């Protein structure tokens, strides 16, 4: 039911073309700054499990769950094997409303970025003892860049760590860092090649995404973006989400969590674990300089590559502040920590529950679309004809109504075709020689043309508040006598 379908249907469409029609794109559909890794992986899932309307969201649910597991191991690596820190950091991510609601439910390529960057960071840390692992790190980092350019935000911190840390500087005398760089370029090769043959086509598309990327970055604009970035990042860590938990939207709470976060990162750096501090600091500078709009929960996905490091630092601070400080009373210390963890996790889950109920109450859900899907299942193989004007109706959270209906109905096994069946000058159109069929149109004060020899047998109107316009879902049945087109 929630969250609403978005323009994820475009990437799903490319994956279907790969799985069924042998398409071989170099980039991810309309977002040509994303590589094809995600859509090829989704196409492989379609080939293995078959077409299903909910498989794309199950796919990102799996990657989101794997991200939680990866954060556990990242916490252990950064704290030299402290399992409790890894467990707390993974639990913080698992119960975080932003991760649960968007990153693990919306079938965007960008929602796999945090998994790939977290795995890459684990390999980077392990390469300190085994330098050849820098090659595997490079490949995974190239894959992360394919999922979304926001993975590039980690690069300044990784470069700074390589130059500052004495052990990393020593590795520069070996071939492994340079082989790792080559491996990253290989992992990102499809996008590189695409931009070579299209003369920087990805950059032209990114410049048209003015609401996501700053097309003319400058220090002055970065300063203006910082307030929204600080607020959004604080809300992500706090678990404030949408219209719920408004107390956590207040600047005192955001100021407190920022101070705790900075202290936790600085403490790890002082203890000789400078990677989280450098990577998070570099990422924030990147987000401020190249980002543009951080005012709604959807923008949270841009920050997710850096969030695991923040959760690890805060978890390490919690273990130090409770267990290490009160080591003389270990049972009492563990009890205090357990109570705090349960309370925070419960608060996060309560926020998620409240947002779910709010989305249902305000119409920001897929209820009408799912109801139309259930109606179509009365005749599982019947063709569905979509009014072309449905592709002009923008849904409130991205994408169009036509795209979402196509994804639900086509992946459910219905042949789906688009017809310009509405409006002044609409002409009769043909229909496959099968009966029954379905017609989905907008409800507007205009007439639509029914194909010759068919009539409307049943019709229902579905009001989808989140989809802006009411929709008529009708069953077309063959008439007894062939006649003229009926309005």
Cα separation, 167 vs 190, whole angstroms: 33
Cα separation, 334 vs 330, whole angstroms: 6
Among the listed residues 351, 393, 438, the one whose alpha carbon sits nearest the alpha carbon of residue 5: 393
Question: What Å distances lie between residue 472 and 309, 362, 486, CA to CA?
Answer: 48, 21, 16
Q: pLDDT tens, position by position, for the chain (487 residues)?
A: 788 888 899 999 999 999 999 999 999 877 899 999 999 999 999 999 999 999 999 999 999 999 999 999 999 999 988 899 999 999 999 999 889 888 999 999 999 999 999 999 999 999 999 999 999 999 999 999 999 999 999 999 999 999 999 999 999 999 999 999 999 999 999 999 999 999 999 988 888 876 677 778 888 778 778 888 888 888 888 887 665 444 445 678 888 889 999 999 999 999 999 999 999 999 999 998 888 777 776 777 889 999 999 999 999 998 887 776 666 667 777 787 788 788 778 878 888 888 888 888 877 788 888 888 888 888 888 888 888 878 877 766 677 888 888 999 999 988 888 876 555 555 556 666 556 788 887 765 555 667 777 777 766 777 665 555 678 788 877 776 544 444 4
Taking the CA atoms of the chain, what radius of gyration do you get in angstroms?
Answer: 25
Q: Which CATH number fits domain 367-478: 3.40.50, 1.10.20, 3.30.310, 3.90.550?
A: 3.90.550
Cα separation, 138 vs 151, whole angstroms: 13
Residue 133, token pair as written in the block: 């692992």
Provide CB contacts within 8 A for 280, sequence distance 6+.
Answer: 157, 265, 306, 309, 310, 313
Domains of the chain: which residue ranges?
A: 8-361, 367-478
């Amino acid at each position: 039911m929630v969250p609403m379908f978005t323009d994820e249907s475009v990437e799903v469409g490319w994956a279907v073309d790969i799985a069924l029609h042998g398409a071989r794109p170099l980039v991810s559909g309309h977002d040509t700054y994303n590589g094809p890794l995600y859509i090829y992986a989704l196409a492989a899932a379609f080939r293995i499990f078959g077409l299903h309307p909910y498989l794309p969201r199950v796919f990102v649910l799996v990657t989101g769950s794997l991200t939680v597991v990866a954060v556990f191991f990242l916490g252990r690596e950064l704290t030299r094997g402290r399992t409790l820190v890894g467990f707390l950091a993974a639990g913080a991510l698992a119960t975080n409303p932003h991760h649960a609601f968007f990153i693990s439910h919306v079938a965007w390529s960008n929602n796999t970025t945090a998994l790939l960057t977290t795995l890459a960071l684990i390999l980077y840390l392990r390469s300190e003892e085994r330098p050849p692992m820098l090659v595997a790190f490079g490949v995974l980092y190239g894959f992360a860049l394919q999922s979304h350019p926001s993975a590039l935000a980690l690069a300044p911190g990784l470069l700074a760590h390589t130059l500052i840390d004495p052990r990393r500087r020593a590795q520069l005398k070996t071939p492994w860092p340079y082989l790792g760089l080559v491996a990253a370029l290989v992992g990102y090769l499809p996008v590189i090649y695409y931009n070579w043959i299209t003369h920087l086509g990805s950059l032209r598309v990114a410049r048209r995404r003015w609401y996501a990327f700053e097309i003319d970055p400058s220090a002055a604009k970065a300063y203006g973006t910082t307030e929204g970035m600080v607020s959004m990042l604080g809300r992500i860590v706090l678990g404030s989400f949408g219209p719920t938990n408004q107390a956590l939207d207040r600047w005192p709470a955001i100021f407190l969590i920022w101070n705790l976060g900075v202290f936790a990162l600085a403490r790890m750096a002082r203890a000789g674990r400078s990677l989280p501090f450098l990577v998070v600091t570099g990422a924030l500078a990147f987000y401020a300089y190249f980002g543009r709009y951080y005012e709604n929960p959807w923008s949270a996905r841009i920050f997710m590559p850096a969030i695991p490091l923040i959760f690890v630092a805060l978890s390490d601070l919690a273990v130090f502040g409770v267990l290490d400080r009160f080591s003389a009373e270990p049972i009492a210390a563990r009890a205090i920590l357990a109570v705090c963890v349960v309370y925070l996790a419960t608060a996060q889950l309560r926020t998620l529950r409240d947002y779910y109920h709010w989305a249902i109450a305000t119409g920001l859900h897929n209820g009408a679309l799912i109801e139309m899907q259930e109606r179509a299942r009365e005749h599982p193989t019947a063709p569905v004809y979509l009014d072309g004007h449905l592709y002009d109706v923008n849904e409130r959270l991205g994408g169009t109504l036509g795209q979402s209906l196509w994804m639900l109905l086509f992946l459910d096994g219905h042949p789906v075709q688009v017809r310009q069946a509405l409006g002044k000058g609409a002409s009769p159109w043909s229909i496959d020689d099968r009966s029954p069929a379905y017609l989905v149109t907008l409800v507007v004060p205009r007439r639509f043309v029914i194909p010759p020899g068919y009539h409307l047998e049943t019709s229902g109107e579905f009001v989808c508040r989140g989809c802006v316009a009411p929709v008529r879902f009708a069953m077309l049945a063959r008439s007894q006598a062939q006649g003229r087109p009926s309005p």
